Amino acid sequence: MQKSRINNSLNIGIVKYLNSKPLIQGLHNFLPDASLQFGYPSQLSNDLTNKLLNVALVSSIELFKNPEYEIVSDACIASDGPVLSVKLYSRVNLNNISSLALDSASVTSSALVRILLMECFGITPEIEVFPMHQTFENSKSDAFLVIGDRALLPPQEDFHACIDLGELWSQLTGTPFVYACWISRKKQCPDQVVEALNKCRDSGVENLEEIVNRESSSLSIDPELALTYLKNHISYKLGDEEVKGLMLFKELASQYGFLDKNQENHSLSQNPECII
């Protein structure tokens, strides 16, 4: 991505994963002059911070790291139960994990897996980076966090355990988990953009089969699995329960040191005209 500050153009950041496709269905029809920038969650978060993007679909934890940010749409990526695309693979008994390789693409999922390991198993493993294109055999870690489209594919080796982190979160808290939401700086997202993002989500949810037929082959994901994933495991509406889960995640992220003292006091900032 060209490193220049935003100007009068509209720059929208979108995660590369399959689960984002229903949120941008027909976006060019609604916002024909927008420039769409595709990247991984951590990359988009950096670009939003550096004012290279006007609005971006980014990891939910980013909302709490900058008091200038607000959620600008009730479209999101969430799950209430198994999510299929955020997994912990372990070569050892879960209680014996001493080293954890983290997928570097998402800060939110990295915090989530460490919170769940502490909450559910009382362990704090040493952390290693697991680059997005690295194979398991290149790392000696006990366990691996894998997210996004590659988590939908069969692993490259037999593991002792596989944990779906969306399922574990819901079992622990009784709430959905919000992985990503549309974020912009306060009062910097025009109403027509908000309206377009909501309409895209509605169109996407109504056309999941079309999205799967268009996208699954290029991702090497079985079409039936892709449709099941988007239809039954991902939810796209930021409702009351999702907000409750998001606030609980913020509380636990603060408790375990994933937010600094200043960030702990940041509220869930929402544009009241855009959100529930």
- Choose among 193, 180, 201, 187: nearest CA to 9: 193
Residue range 11-78+177-264, CATH number: 3.40.190.10
Residue ranges of the domains in the chain? 11-78+177-264, 86-173
| Cβ neighbours, 10 Å, residue 25 | 21
Give the three-state DSSP class for 201: helix
Token output for 141: 């870690």
Give strand ranges (E) for the chain.
Answer: 11-15, 35-39, 55-59, 69-79, 86-90, 99-103, 126-130, 143-147, 161-164, 177-185, 235-237
Which CA distances in Å does 117 have to 26, 101, 168, 194, 252?
Answer: 39, 13, 10, 36, 12
> What is the per-residue pLDDT across 147-202, written as a single tens digit (0 to 9) for each?
999 999 998 889 999 999 999 999 999 999 999 999 999 988 999 999 999 999 99
CATH class as words, domain 86-173: alpha beta
CATH topology of 11-78+177-264 equal to that of 86-173?
yes
Look at residue 131 and tell me whether its pLDDT is greater than 80: no
Q: Is 42 a residue whose pLDDT tops 80?
A: yes
| Distances in whole angstroms, Cα of residue 220 to Cα of each of 85, 136, 159, 225 | 14, 19, 22, 11
| Higher-confidence position of 69 and 135 | 69
pLDDT in the model for residue 21: 96
Phi, psi of 130 (to 5 degrees): -115, 90
pLDDT attached to residue 4? 37
Cβ neighbours around 257 below 10 Å, total: 11
pLDDT at 262: 57
* Total residue length of the chain: 276
- Residue 93 backbone dihedrals phi, psi, to 5 degrees: -55, 140
What is the side-by-side strand order in the sheet with 143-147?
126-130, 99-103, 143-147, 86-90, 161-164
Count Cα neighbours of 20 within 13 Å in the Cβ-side half-sphere.
Answer: 23
pLDDT average, residue stretch 123-134: 87
Assess whether pLDDT exceeds 90 at residue 265: no
Helical residues (DSSP H) of 57-131, grouped into ranges: 107-121
- What pLDDT score was predicted for residue 96? 96
Token representation of residue 233: 């495991």
Give residue-wise pLDDT tens across range 205-256: 999 999 999 998 888 899 999 999 999 999 999 999 999 999 999 999 999 9
User: Which of 89, 45, 37, 40 is CA-nearest to residue 63?
Assistant: 45
C-alpha torsion 238→239→241→244, nearest 10: 60
Q: What is the pLDDT of residues 56-106, one digit of tens each?
A: 999 999 999 899 999 999 999 999 999 999 999 999 999 999 999 997 777
Question: For residues 249 and 76, is the Cβ–Cβ distance under 8 A?
Answer: no
- Output the pLDDT for position 269: 52
